[in-house]
Amino acid sequence: MVFTLDSSLASAIGPAAAKKVERAFGLQTVGEMLAHYPRRYADPAELTPIRDLPVGETVTIVAEVLSSKARSMRNRSGAMTDVIIGDEHGRVSLTFFAKNIQQAEWRVKELYRGRRGVFSGKVGMYQDVTQFAHPQYELFDDEESAQRRADDRANRPIPIYPATSAVSSAQFRELIEKVLPDIGEVPDPVPAEVRGREGLLDARTALMQIHRPQTSQEVDPAVRTLRMHEALVLQTALLQQRAAVRALSATPRPALPGGLLEGFDATLPYTLTADQKTVGERIMTDLTGDWPMNRLVQGEVGSGKTLVALRAMLQVAESGGQAALIAPTEVLASQHLRSITRMLGPDLAARLMPTLLTGQLSAPERRKAALRVASGQSLIVVGTHALLGEKTTFADLGLVVVDEQHRFGVEQREALRAKGSSPHALVLTATPIPRTVAMTVFGDLDTSVIRSMPAGRAGIETFVAPLAERPEWFRRVWDRAAEEVAQGRQVFAVCAAIDTTKKTAEDEQEPPAAADESPTGPRWGVVQLDALLATHPTVGGLRRAVLHGKMPADEKDAVMRAFARGEIDLLIATTVIEVGVDVPNASTMIVLDADRFGVSQLHQLRGRVGRGEVPGLCLLVTEAEEGSLARERVEAVAATLDGFALAEVDLELRGEGDVLGSTQSGVRSSLKLLRVVKDSKLIARARELAEDILHADPLLTAHTGLREVIARRVTEDDRAALAKN
């Protein structure tokens, strides 16, 4: 029977096996199964004789079970299974831990004497006995297949697949072997002339070689080919989405001579930076185009993105259009409203009536705000998720501004854009995005960057307080804070948790601990730090306040207003102050448990100080050991103020899985082999190829393979996700 990539798994491997595979991996078709690629290969060279196993390295061997027994643990609850495996060259001890004796005995039944298989683990020695730490294994089903597979392994690499307790790598490999010989035609997304020029395999050969390589030399060409498939499909889909947006008609929003924008610019007490001018001119042109603007503006913390956005809002307002700015938190939305109102001045503010719309307004306040928005009286609307509610309507929504876009899911952004008729969209982020990530995630957006900073900024100095080596520096940190306050300045102290004795929703947003970090969570919470500082000899008498996401909106706003007015010396907060909060008199940022934060997050927090004429000081307090990955992150931030350089460091340290995030749904989060750091040149090349293909053949009429693969991999839901970005 011949199978296509769209054939159901049930027809190819049987209903029972198909059900197990779907439950384990969510795979339903032959194509999806074949896209479940090996995560690595056990090369024949790795099948080292036991007598030659190198201590400290992870190895793979073919061996036979010589003995196995289960026993309860002596000094604590649980049980363990002791297994001895061997070949003609020696023996290895394996230990498996279990919750109870029944689980341990179950493993004895599986690993019985005479059973053969492939065993992997890190080689160690204990009392002159060779051991495998964290052992893994794949057992052969019977002696005949054992010999056959052992012979195979002597000649070709062994694919090791991502597995679960229900479907092992060996079981999955058996299913792949069952299906591969009967695969029919495989659509190829790369045109034949491009394959030849780029040195790529055809699609069918690539699938065969990645799942059943005859030699280790066959793996890399297959992987490279399939990575190009992913990159080309993704870039073509993104460019198609850009073309689809440009096929829409938009209401032109020109700036008029003597209009709102010109009047606003004339009142500015400072000159726009070169980057602000360049990006502003690009946006002005976009707003008068035939299709909706779809632009991402990246800018360093404090580079003036809000001013650029406000100028776009004024241009839209000249034709009576409304602009809606959505922010991720109540604190940031309130801050934006105050900042916009201040920049507009009393006359323009009265004409445009900037309005705040959040979920925690009182019912009468919310009705009043909603009426202003629905009637068109308010031409600038700032809010949180409340803007997305069914009851929130606009008279003429002409511009959507999304601040810190990574905080929103695609559905939320689309819900706001759907409240207008093809409104223009401006996406802001103070989190610098590496070029390859921007190309992969935001390839359907036009991108602008603001690098230069406004004049008059005093700058920031950053220091690490390494408590692991110098615990006495903890006292010095607070002495330094008191010195700043004595000079009339203000201090932020940021914690990774609200209360370390409890787990709240806000705490759960902190970055997960790296492999070399303590999994017990941060030492300091806002509650604990406030209690400590209340009796501290140097800062105990300062005017303190706390701020976190669990506080009522009016209370949070009152605290931030008081801090902005200089009525609070030391603000103890969570990352609720990470973005957008602007207090020029704040000179010092102290980050406790700094190793609990990501590189970009630390850079964002640092950007809250040094925003005026007062020099900024950032103290990153950490107990992470020198040389650890956690400490490396903190020291990377202290080493440079260049957010774009830090974005590259962050990508290298954390990997693109974290950087891309889980809110980008569809094709963007389903990359199997493509890696945006390692494959940056390949992605750029795929972009060029996609542009050439679509320029010559916009409907892909002559590129049936590419069209078919996009149709299979990029579903309607995925296209909707792309459209919402």
pLDDT tens readout for residues 453-477? 776 666 789 999 999 899 999 999 9
Stretch 495-519: mean pLDDT: 57
The pLDDT > 70 percentage for the chain reads: 85
* CATH class of the region 460-640: alpha beta
Is 134:122 a contact under the CB 8 Å cutoff? yes
pLDDT of 99: 85
Give the whole-angstrom CA distance, residue 324 versus residue 345: 19
- Residue 509: what are its φ and ψ, rounded to 5°? -85, -5
Cβ burial of 355 (10 Å; 0-12, 13-18, 19+) is buried
Of 347-361, 497-511, 552-566, least confident by mean pLDDT is 497-511
Is 155:44 a contact under the CB 8 Å cutoff? yes
Of 339-353, 511-525, 625-639, 707-721, least confident by mean pLDDT is 511-525
Give the whole-angstrom CA distance, residue 656 versus residue 569: 39
pLDDT tens digits along 82-109: 999 987 778 899 988 888 898 889 999 9
pLDDT tens digits along 28-52: 999 999 999 998 887 655 556 777 7
* CATH class of the region 260-287+304-429: alpha beta
Within the chain, all domains assigned CATH 3.40.50.300 are found at 260-287+304-429, 460-640
3-state secondary structure of 42: strand
pLDDT band per the 50, 70, 90 thresholds, residue 175: very high
Of 157-166, 601-610, 621-630, least confident by mean pLDDT is 157-166
Q: Is the pLDDT of residue 724 over 70?
A: no
Give the whole-angstrom CA distance, residue 471 versus residue 537: 17
Q: Is the pLDDT of residue 587 over 50?
A: yes
Q: Is the pLDDT of residue 723 over 50?
A: no
Within the chain, all domains assigned CATH 2.40.50.140 are found at 44-156
| Fold classified for 44-156 | OB fold (Dihydrolipoamide Acetyltransferase, E2P) (2.40.50)
Q: 């078709």: which residue's tokens? A: 29
pLDDT tens digits along 375-422: 999 999 999 888 888 888 999 999 999 886 555 655 666 678 788 888
pLDDT band per the 50, 70, 90 thresholds, residue 225: very high
Q: 């034949």: which residue's tokens? A: 192
Higher pLDDT, 408 or 240: 240
pLDDT tens digits along 48-68: 677 778 887 777 777 889 999
Buried b (16+ CB within 10 A) or exposed e, 130-169: bbbeebbbbebeeeeebeebeeebeebbbbbbebeeebbb
